[in-house]
Amino acid sequence: MVEDDELKAWFFREVFPLEAALTRFIRRNWRNESDVADLRQDIYTKVYTAAQQQLPLQARAFLFTTARNHLINTAKRAKIVSFDLVADLEASFPEAMSADLDRQLTARDELRRVQAGLERLPSRCRQVMTLRRVEGLSTKEVAAHLNISVSTVEQQMVHGLRALTDYMMGGQGRIRRSPPKTSVAKSESRS
Amino acid sequence: MSARNEIEDTAAYWLSRRADGLSSEEQARLDAWLDASAEHKTVFWRLEFVWEKTGRLVALRGPDSLTEVIMEAPPPATPRRVLTHWVAGLAAALAVVVLSSTALLWPQPAQYATDTGERRLVALSDGSRVELNTETRLRAAMSPDSREAWLDKGEAYFDVAHDASRPFTVHMGDRTVRVLGTRFSVRRDGDKVQVLVAEGRVRLSGSKVDPASRPVVLVRGDVATGLGASVLQSRTSDQRVDDQLAWRRGLLVFDQITLADAAVEFNRYNQTQLKVLDSQTAAIRIGGSFEAANVEAFVRLLQSAYGLEIDRDGEIVKISE
């Protein structure tokens, strides 16, 4: 059993940096764009569970094999499997496995990207994120400084962090607001 | 709308909350949530991965940014450092004149010290409290517009009274820690410096000789270890923070550290000095909590529980397999 600390370090070092490539791979092989983020999360969960037994030596190969299998299984379950899909998957697989596809970001690139991601946020959200993460203020201090409530700061942090994560991982960095809590049925694509 | 969205919201909420410091009850709730499913954990990690990257933006902070304004006091009218260096370079006769004038400008710092195994609580005139651990030397100077302390050696826990107009600065060699009001401990061993934040936020500035070194802002649970020009920053759990501060209750808490390291810890507190003779014995892992002053009990434990050979030579206790 691999300890969580070790697993987490492995995800940070080997898996998350591949997210842009993984997302492209899923998008190319799945019709329904709105399933992409869910599929990706399913794949992470499966990778986590498998890696708990033993850390894979080849993270990239392991991640994309898991991704391919998951797409095929999900398609089968949804009864949308076609020869096209499997053929496409096989065709795009070697390409996804090639490391040249995603340029590793240098620390400087990464900083620029964080900055660019912050600049895309709505102004209040950006202000909160900047005070919190750049200036190092606490939630209470940010609330006092901007004269807004603590829960507003917390809400903006949730939106901001999610949007920034999306952007940093190769997405558009748009804010997605969750609708008010209702019982949410799991989408078809989930296992 | 998927369940993932809700999970991401929850994860982002916790990440943001955690940066402010969680109570042990909240930490337990977060841990339970994380352990509930592999999905929670991976969603949380993914956001944390980016959260950590945003922290690096601190490096881009301009000199006139908000934090500087809050945390930096206006520079003193006469730079003390220049004066001190100047004094060092002057002939003794001249120095006397200069020293007496500096003494007029700045009150002589009060000195506090502890012996081996001693702990001492010091109440400063600004309302701050400092606990000194064994073999520690501290000087402190409180004035109407500044609060300064110098840790010459040893370990101290600061509970700094909040005063936004007077930042509290602790000097450790050429490193400084600057705060408004918070709780933290510092340990100094030669030019090795360790800062542990128990509450609030502190700012650790690098050595002055290296202009490239940037100050780091530490929050609850952060540990920074500085040696030479480098600073290693890491996070630790609330439990570990408590363990590291156990000396305030006269305890040493070891989490599977080597016997060699445990011996070094005990030796800080006692005249009796433990000496581990061979590398195999030195590598034995020790866990548990011990009275720092009761080295005899620890030695008996090594003898009975670990079956180690104990050989006494005056105040030296030799340990081997």
Dist. CA B316–CA A139, nearest whole Å: 52
User: Are B65 and A38 inside 8 Å of each other by CB?
Assistant: no
Are the beta carbons of B2 and A38 separated by less than 8 Å? Answer: yes
Segments making up each domain of chain A, as ranges: 4-97, 107-168
Nearest CA distance, B75 vs chain A (angstrom): 21
What six digits make up the tokens of B114? 């502890």
Question: Average pLDDT in the A2-30 region?
Answer: 90
- For B40, which residue in chain A has the nearest alpha carbon? A45
Chain A contacts of B1, Cβ < 8 Å? 178-179, 184
**Which pLDDT belongs to residue A105?**
60
**Structural contact between residues B293 and B254, judged by C-beta atoms closer than 8 angstroms:** no
DSSP letter for A133, please: I
CA distance B199 to B242: 12
Q: How far is B316 from chain A (nearest CA, A)?
A: 39
- Below-70 pLDDT ranges, chain B: 1, 56-108, 207-213, 229
How many interchain CB pairs under 8 A, A with B?
A: 132
Q: Contact A181/B6, CB-based, under 8 Å?
A: yes
Residue B38 and residue A154: Cβ atoms within 8 Å? no
Q: Give the pLDDT confidence score for residue B75 in this predicted structure.
A: 34
pLDDT at residue A91 in the model: 66
Chain A residues with CB inside 8 Å of B60's CB?
Answer: 111, 115, 134
Over A53-81, what HEC string results?
Answer: HCCCCCHHHHHHHHHHHHHHHHHHHCCCC
B282-305 pLDDT, tens digit each:
999 888 888 898 899 899 888 888
Average of per-residue pLDDT across A112-119: 84
CATH topology assigned to domain A107-168: Arc Repressor Mutant, subunit A (1.10.10)
Q: Which of A6, A41, A121, A164 is most worth mutating to test chain B (most B CB atoms within 10 A of its CB)? A: A41
**Which candidate, A20, A165, A74, places its Cα nearest to that of B43?**
A165
* Average pLDDT of the segment spanning A164-178: 77
Task: Note the pTM of the prediction, 2 decimals.
Answer: 0.48
Residue A44 with chain B: CB contacts under 8 Å: 39, 42-43, 46
Distance CA A174, CA B251 (A): 51
pLDDT tens digits, A69-103 = 898 888 877 765 555 566 666 666 666 666 554 55
Q: Do B56 and A164 touch (CB under 8 A)?
A: no
Domains of chain B by start residue, with CATH: 3-60 (no CATH), 110-241 (2.60.120.1440), 250-320 (3.55.50.30)
d(CA B7, CA B220): 25
How close, in Å, is residue B284 to chain A by CA atoms? 22
How big is chain B by its Cα radius of gyration, in Å?
23
- Helices marked H in A11-149 — which ranges? 19-29, 36-53, 59-77, 83-97, 107-120, 123-129, 139-146
CA distances from B70 to A137, A143, B163 (A): 10, 16, 11
Q: Please tell me which residue, B305 or A5, carries the higher pLDDT value.
A: A5
Closest CA–CA distance from residue B73 to any residue of chain A (Å): 16
Cα(B274)–Cα(B295) distance, integer angstroms: 9
**Short-list B280, B276, B278, CA closest to B262:** B276
Q: Are B289 and B252 contacting, i.e. CB atoms less than 8 angstroms apart?
A: yes
Contact assignment for B2 to A184 by CB distance below 8 Å = yes
Q: What is the DSSP letter of A130?
A: I
pLDDT (mean) for A141-156 = 90
CA A178 to chain centre: 17
Shortest alpha-carbon distance between residue B189 and chain A (Å): 29
Angle made by CA atoms B299, B301, B307, in degrees to the nearest 5: 95
Q: What is the ipTM of this complex?
A: 0.82
The pLDDT assigned to A49 comes to 94
Which one of B4, B17, B30, B58 would you mutate to disrupt binding with A, by most A Cβ within 10 Å of its Cβ? B4
**Is there a contact between B65 and A134 if contact means CB atoms under 8 Å apart?**
yes
